[in-house]
Structures are given as structure tokens and as C-alpha cells.
């Protein structure tokens, strides 16, 4: 027995067990201490609070502040309060990269929350990868570029949105549309969708009568409008971000021409919905604060709080839409992973999310496909009476709303 109590190296089994436990405890120490620490859990991230993307950055800020406040009122995470360390990336991917470095190495945050916009998310992803941190992010537009295995997109556009979204648009339009003009900004996340849409239109029997690319930041849309009018398509598919859709519509209006049917990839929601020229405009969305999507207490509370905050911040379209929905989902995904794994361990959370996905106000999102993308959950929305309503697919369509096609 005594012999059996000795290890081959002359150490007693009890001592070996004690040593082993000590090593295991030491290995687990950082996450155990942070998970059970007494201070707040610090989640660091950046948003475009200034610069050209600030119009949308403010939406994500409102959502994050509401989520954290609500979370803390309910007791926080793992019994600790949660603190959001938010920095302004000025809409610049290079600044974003530096700030995420700072959040990890100087501010020593426990977890990361991704920024808004594809370029900045890509920058943050590189930093997260270098430090082995999980990165949940809001609205990343080019899934094929997201190679990091611990990134988790809250925006469920699927791995091939250029095909899946375009097919959904064509499904929505039905067979009335025979010709299309594809006009696109060269802004990367809208440009690749417009390029990918072209073969889909061809496959679906819709003839392309015009294809135009313009530079992001173009102010003068008169000549582009003249060419669209000249082509006279049944359907205008615009790869537009921000205000570009409005700018083209205003230029077309000056030529006394209105598109019969028109789609915009990433329009700023307020100006297009509130402008008379935006009537019947189509776009795609993950979420709108409308039934049936907002029919649960959490979504209802969120929608109400967002509208109040948006009005206070003078946001012209004070309803939760795709950006706000994706933002809220990102927070839900991150906190779900913490709760379910009962830890702040990045690898454990990533493994859990990859295997199980997460429930969000958008729906259940999965991350088990290529580049951690799951199903394309995007819906088609249309401006009707100054508000975006969901018109396709039918199971999530806004009650009373039906697609207007000319």
C-alpha cells in the first residue's frame, strides 16, 4: 500500500493530488477571480459617436445604455454589476483598432462589445483575435471577411446575403417586375451586395437595363438621376448607405420622375421613411418595433424606452429598427453566453455560442455555419404612411400591411 501511495517520482499521492489541485486552481485563477470578483464586470467597446457614421452610432449608444441599465436593475451578471466602457472611434477603423488595444491592455476590460459598421468591426476583430477575446458585434456587412472563430454577428444576414437577400426581394416583388436598374455606391458593404444581386436578377428573369457605380460621398446625383430616368426601369435596386437613397430620389424628383418600385440596402431609416419621396421604398431589416416581433414584455419595454430616448436625442425616426434590433441582440448574445457558461472565459463562451446559438429579440440566431454565420433572418420592409412596416415573409409581416407593387 505504501508503495502504491508513492508516485514514480517519490512524491506521495496526497501531495501529488494537492499539487495537481494547486496547478489547476492557478490555471483557472484569472477567469475564476474575474467571474467571482466583487467589482463590476467591465465590458469595453467603441461606437462611432462622431464622424460620418454618428447618425447610427447614437442609436447603438441608446440601446447599450438601456440594456446595461435594465441588466443592472435585474441584478447584473454573475451577481456583479455591469459597467460599459464606451469610447468614441470617430467612425474611423484605424482609431477603432487603437481603442480596442487600449480597452484590453490599459483599461483591462473583462469582455468586449463590438463597434458599429463593417470597417470598424473588422478592425476590432483583428485586435480581439490577437488577444483571444470573444467579439459579439452589431451590423457587420460582409460575412466572407469575418474569419475569426470567436466573432459572433448579431445581425443575422446569413453567409451569402447578396444572394439570399436579393432572392427575398424578388420573391417579394412577384412577377410584375421585368426590368431593373442597379445603381450602387462603392461603399464596400453595399457594393458587394449590389454586385451579387446582378446574377440573381438574371437567374430570376429580370432584365438589367442599367448598372451604375458611384463613389461614396457623391453629392451631385443629377446626372445619375438622368440616366436612371432614361433607362426607365420597373425596379430601382440601389446599393445605398445613409442618405444616398434620398439624394437620388430628390434628383429624380427634380426631373419629374418617380421610380415605380425601389429598394435601398442600408438607408438611414428616418429621412427615407419621413420623406414623401420615400413612399413605398423597400429595404431589408432584422427587426422593427412592430407586431408580431415586439410581442413579448422585454421587446415591448425596449421599444418604449428607445422611443423616449430617441425623442430626447432628437432622432427623427424614434422607433427601433434594424440597427437598434441588432444592437440589442448583440447585448443579449453576450450576456446569454456569460449566464449559460457562468464565467467570463472567452473560449468557454465562444464554444457555447457556436454550439447553441442564442435567443434574441430578432429570433434565435445560430453561429454554426461558415464564418460563424447561421440563417439569414432578414425581412423585407416597405415605407407605408411614413413608417417602415414588414411586408415579407408573411409570418413576420406587420398586421394589416401588404406589399405595394406597381
Partner 1 sequence: MISATLLGQSILSGIFSGCLYAMLGLGMTLTWRYLKVINLAHFAFVLIAAYLTYQLVGKNGWHPLAVAIVLTPAFFALGVALQALIHRYEVNEFASIIVTFGLVMIAEAGLQWFWSADFLKLEAHVMRGTYEIGGLFFPTGEMVMSLVAVAMCVGIWAMMRFTWLGKALRASLDNPQIAASFGIPNRRLSYLVAGASGASTAIGGLFVALLFTLAPSQMFSWLGVVFAAALLGGLGSPLGILGAGLLLGVSEAITMAVTAPAWAPVVPFTLLMVILLIWPERV
Residue in the block written with cell 446595461: 68
Build a one-symbol-per-residue string for 186-205: x at contacts with partner 1 by CB under 8 A, - elsewhere.
Answer: x-------------------
Interface region with partner 1, contact rule CB under 8 A, candidates 101-109, 126-134, 211-219, 384-392? 211-219
3-state helix, strand, coil in the chain (%, to 5): 45, 20, 35
In 37-53, alpha helices (H): none
CB neighbours of 222 closer than 8 A, spacing ≥ 6? 251, 254
Determine contact, residues 138/60, Cβ cutoff 8 Å. yes
247 binds partner 1 (CB under 8 A): yes
Residue 273 beta carbon to partner 1: minimum distance, rounded to whole angstroms: 12
- Report the residue count for the chain: 406
261 binds partner 1 (CB under 8 A): no
Interface region with partner 1, contact rule CB under 8 A, candidates 29-37, 208-216, 351-359, 364-372? 208-216
91 binds partner 1 (CB under 8 A): yes
Q: How many residues bind partner 1 (CB under 8 A)?
A: 41
Nearest CB to partner 1, comparing residues 187 and 373: 187
Task: Report the residue from 35, 41, 45, 57 that binds partner 1 according to the rule CB under 8 A.
Answer: 57
Task: Report the residue from 35, 43, 45, 55 that binds partner 1 according to the rule CB under 8 A.
Answer: 55
54 binds partner 1 (CB under 8 A): yes
Give the residues across from 180 on adjacent strands. 208, 235
Dist CA 371 CA 151 (whole Å): 8
Q: What is the DSSP string of 215-263?
A: -TT----HHHHHHHHHH--SEEEEEEEETHHHHHHHHHHHTT---SEEE
Nearest CB to partner 1, comparing residues 117 and 157: 117
Cell digits for 204? 430570376
Nearest CB to partner 1, comparing residues 91 and 164: 91
Determine contact, residues 235/205, Cβ cutoff 8 Å. no
* Touching partner 1, residues 300-359 (CB under 8 A): 313-316
Interface region with partner 1, contact rule CB under 8 A, candidates 158-166, 254-262, 281-289, 301-309? 254-262
Nearest-10 crossing angle of helices 244-254, 222-231 = 70
Nearest CB to partner 1, comparing residues 192 and 352: 192
- Taking residue 155's Cβ as centre, other Cβ atoms within 10 Å add up to 27
Phi, psi dihedrals of residue 300, rounded to the nearest 5°: -65, -45
Q: What is the DSSP string of 71-82?
A: HHHTT-BTTB-E
255 binds partner 1 (CB under 8 A): yes
14 binds partner 1 (CB under 8 A): no
Determine contact, residues 261/173, Cβ cutoff 8 Å. yes
* Touching partner 1, residues 119-158 (CB under 8 A): none
Strands 358-359 vs 379-384: parallel, antiparallel or unpaired: unpaired
Residue 333 beta carbon to partner 1: minimum distance, rounded to whole angstroms: 26
Residue 80 beta carbon to partner 1: minimum distance, rounded to whole angstroms: 33
Task: Report the residue from 32, 209, 243, 351 that binds partner 1 according to the rule CB under 8 A.
Answer: 243
CB neighbours of 37 closer than 8 A, spacing ≥ 6? 80
Interface region with partner 1, contact rule CB under 8 A, candidates 15-23, 214-222, 357-365, 389-397? 214-222
Residue 271 beta carbon to partner 1: minimum distance, rounded to whole angstroms: 5
Phi, psi dihedrals of residue 372, rounded to the nearest 5°: 65, 20
Nearest CB to partner 1, comparing residues 218 and 308: 218
Nearest CB to partner 1, comparing residues 184 and 341: 184
Phi, psi dihedrals of residue 391, rounded to the nearest 5°: -115, -10
Please report, as ranges, the residues that interact with partner 1 according to CB under 8 A: 49-52, 54-55, 57-58, 91, 186, 212-215, 217-220, 222-224, 226-227, 230, 242-243, 246-247, 251, 254-256, 268, 270-271, 274-275, 313-316
Amino acid at each position: 500500500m505504501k508503495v502504491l501511495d508513492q508516485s514514480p517520482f517519490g512524491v506521495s499521492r496526497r501531495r501529488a493530488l494537492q499539487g495537481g489541485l494547486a496547478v489547476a486552481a492557478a490555471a483557472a485563477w484569472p477567469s475564476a477571480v474575474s467571474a467571482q470578483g466583487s467589482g463590476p464586470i467591465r465590458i469595453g467597446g467603441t461606437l462611432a459617436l462622431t464622424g460620418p457614421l454618428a447618425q447610427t452610432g447614437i442609436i447603438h449608444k441608446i440601446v447599450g445604455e438601456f440594456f446595461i441599465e435594465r441588466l443592472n436593475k435585474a441584478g447584473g451578471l454573475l451577481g456583479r454589476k455591469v459597467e460599459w466602457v464606451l469610447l468614441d472611434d470617430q467612425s474611423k477603423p484605424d482609431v477603432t483598432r487603437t481603442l480596442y488595444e487600449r480597452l484590453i491592455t490599459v483599461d483591462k476590460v473583462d469582455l468586449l462589445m463590438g463597434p458599429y459598421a463593417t470597417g470598424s468591426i473588422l478592425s476590432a476583430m483583428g485586435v480581439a483575435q490577437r488577444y483571444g477575446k470573444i467579439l459579439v458585434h452589431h451590423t457587420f456587412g460582409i460575412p466572407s471577411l469575418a474569419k475569426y472563430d470567436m466573432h459572433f454577428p448579431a445581425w443575422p444576414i446569413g453567409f451569402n446575403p447578396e444572394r439570399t437577400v436579393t432572392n427575398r426581394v424578388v420573391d417579394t416583388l412577384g412577377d410584375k417586375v421585368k426590368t431593373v436598374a442597379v445603381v450602387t455606391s462603392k461603399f464596400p458593404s453595399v457594393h458587394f451586395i449590389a454586385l451579387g444581386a446582378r446574377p440573381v436578377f438574371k437567374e430570376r428573369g429580370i432584365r438589367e437595363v442599367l448598372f451604375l457605380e458611384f463613389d461614396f460621398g457623391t453629392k451631385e446625383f443629377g446626372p445619375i438621376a438622368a440616366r436612371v430616368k432614361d433607362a426607365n426601369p420597373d425596379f430601382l435596386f440601389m446599393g445605398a448607405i445613409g442618405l444616398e437613397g434620398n439624394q437620388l430620389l430628390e434628383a429624380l424628383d427634380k426631373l419629374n420622375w418617380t421610380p415605380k418600385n425601389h429598394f435601398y440596402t442600408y438607408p438611414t431609416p428616418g429621412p427615407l421613411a419621413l420623406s414623401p419621396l420615400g413612399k413605398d421604398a423597400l429595404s431589408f431589416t432584422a427587426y422593427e418595433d412592430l407586431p408580431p416581433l415586439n410581442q413579448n414584455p422585454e421587446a415591448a419595454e425596449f421599444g418604449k424606452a428607445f422611443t423616449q430616448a430617441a425623442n430626447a436625442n432628437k432622432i427623427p425616426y424614434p422607433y427601433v429598427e434594424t440597427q437598434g434590433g441588432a444592437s440589442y441582440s448583440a447585448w443579449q448574445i453576450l450576456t446569454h453566453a456569460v449566464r449559460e457558461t457562468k464565467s467570463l472565459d472567452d473560449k468557454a463562451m465562444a464554444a457555447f455560442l457556436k454550439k447553441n446559438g442564442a435567443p434574441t429579440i430578432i429570433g434565435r440566431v445560430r453561429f454554426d455555419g461558415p464564418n460563424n454565420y447561421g440563417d439569414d433572418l432578414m425581412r423585407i420592409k416597405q415605407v407605408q404612411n411614413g413608417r417602415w412596416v414588414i411586408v415579407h415573409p408573411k409570418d413576420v409581416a406587420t398586421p394589416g400591411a401588404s406589399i405595394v407593387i406597381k
